[in-house]
Homo-oligomer: A and B are copies of this chain.
Amino acid sequence: MDFQKELRLKQKLVNQRLEKIIDENDAPVRIVEAMKYSLLAGGKRIRPILSISICQALGGKIDDVLDFACAIEFIHTYSLIHDDLPAMDNDDLRRGKPTNHVVFGEAMAILAGDGLLNYAFEIMLKEAVDKNKFFYLKAADIVAKAAGIKGMIGGQVIDLESEGKKIDIDTLNKMHRKKTGALIEASCLCGCIIAQKEDMTEAVKEYGKNLGIAFQIVDDILDYVGDPKKLGKNTGIDIKNNKSTYVSILGIEKSKKLAEEYSLNARNNAKTIDKSGFLLNLTDYLLNRES
């Protein structure tokens, strides 16, 4: 099977499962609408597809990892909703559509974010209770840490505190390792843990780390040179918000070179983890993207 076809199949699978999970509840209609709006607004489903692909590559079953993978996408989506809020980045466009608070109002957007984060843990705990396997608990523990103040939220805080300031490359690295890197790494690790291949933990961790950094540098480059139409969001946001990026600190050429270095590392890790070639193709797809 060719890579693009397999990727689309996986994305479809994730999208269908996300919708099914969110529809399986009797919560107030309006918040479910708000959550669904952002959850099903498209997106590449990078994190769940990483979990699934790595789990499969290491001999695990898709049914064992799918709900967990979706839970991570719930967390990613909540972080985008809260990040876009007027008090935060104040962004009105995301994936080519008005942001959550523009459509549902600020109060509902805050609650929809809270709801998605909480629901992610409901999903993971349900899996752990239903299947009663210790490794689900371990996987949930890793996701929780990656999403929290030592991980993603901590990265947001560094981001917030760096606004309007010149920061050095070490601080920028730290910020991104937490803000984007931690959850990407956790997505990869979950795949490994659920496949019960403990001996691959280090390789998968390395892959997640390299991919996360490369991904972020590419993101910064796209914000600088990308096409808003292809990206489905405004560009130049970082400059407008006076944010330090790889491009603003290192310049465009050095940023491209650094992205290449980390990409090369990630490619090598991918080859170790997945003999089928899918993860390698996925890595190239994520790091050579235009949106």
Contact = CB atoms under 8 A, between A and B. Distances in A.
Contacts of A158: 28
Contacts of A107: 85, 87-88, 160
Interface string A79-120: 000100101100000000000000001111011011101110
A153 B88 contact: no
A115 B32 contact: no
B154 A125 contact: no
Given A32-B149, A115-B149, A149-B119, A110 B82 contact: yes
Contacts of A35: 149
A14 to B, nearest CB: 21
A154 B27 contact: yes
Number of chain copies forming the complex: 2
A147 interface: yes
Given A107-B160, A111-B160, A27 B125 contact: no
Interface string A143-157: 011011110011011
A110 B85 contact: yes
A153 to B, nearest CB: 5
A141 B157 contact: no
A28 B154 contact: yes
Interface string A232-273: 000000000000000000000000000000000000000000
A138 interface: yes
Interface residues of A, number: 50
A23 to B, nearest CB: 12
Contacts of A121: 121, 140, 144
A108 B160 contact: yes
Interface stretch (A49-57, A127-135, A223-231): A127-135
Given A27-B154, A108-B157, A118 B137 contact: no
Contacts of A161: 28, 30
A122 interface: yes
Residue picked from A78, A126, A153, A160, most chain B C-beta under 10 Å: A153
Contact of A110 (B28, B32, B87, B154): B87
Given A107-B160, A113-B114, 18 more contacts: A25-B149, A25-B150, A27-B148, A28-B154, A28-B157, A82-B110, A82-B114, A85-B110, A88-B107, A110-B110, A118-B148, A118-B153, A119-B148, A119-B149, A122-B141, A125-B140, A128-B137, A132-B134
